[in-house]
Amino acid sequence: MAGLRDIPVAGVLRAEDYQRARKFYTEVLGLAEAQESSGPTREGMFMAGAGTMVTVYERPGLPAPENTTLGFGVPADKFDGLVAELRGKGIVFEDYDIPEIGLKTVGGVATFAGDKLAWFKDSEGNILSLATM
């Protein structure tokens, strides 16, 4: 058995307001809505690249985590253009200065070990990242 390496994976994020999160993931990030729950909880699945999925469920009162919850691998030649596009849609990139690991953002973007990285929050306060691959 190969374990889980050949099994598709989906990120799961909490939302204070599912409809607000749905609008963010479809209109701002451009993910395709794949499925919306008809059950007692408000949740949905959104398709990203290479068959990956993001599940968002409504859970009012649950605080957003303070760590990166979802990361997007971006081809190096598309990184700057994607950052500019997201800024144009109102995304504000976070600034970090973590000397103990040598990471510092400049204008919301860090260059770390030859890669570019940027972090931003979704409509629900979850921290998302972009990283060159």
pLDDT tens digits for 25-57? Answer: 999 999 999 987 776 778 999 999 888 999 999
Q: How confident is the model at residue 1 (pLDDT cuts 50, 70, 90)?
A: low
What is the per-residue pLDDT for 2? 67
Report the candidate in 26, 62, 24 with the shortest Cα–Cα distance to residue 41.
62
Query: In CATH, what number is assigned to the domain containing residue 43?
Result: 3.10.180.10
**Residue at 5 is within a domain:** no
What is the per-residue pLDDT for 112? 83
Please say if the pLDDT value at position 13 is more than 70.
yes
Min mean pLDDT across 8-17, 22-31, 77-86 is at 8-17
With a CB cutoff of 8 Å and minimum separation 6, the contacts of 62 are 14, 16
Question: What is the number of domains present in the chain?
Answer: 1
Please state the pTM of the whole predicted model.
0.91
Tell me the average pLDDT across 65-77. 96
Give the domain range for residue 91: 10-132
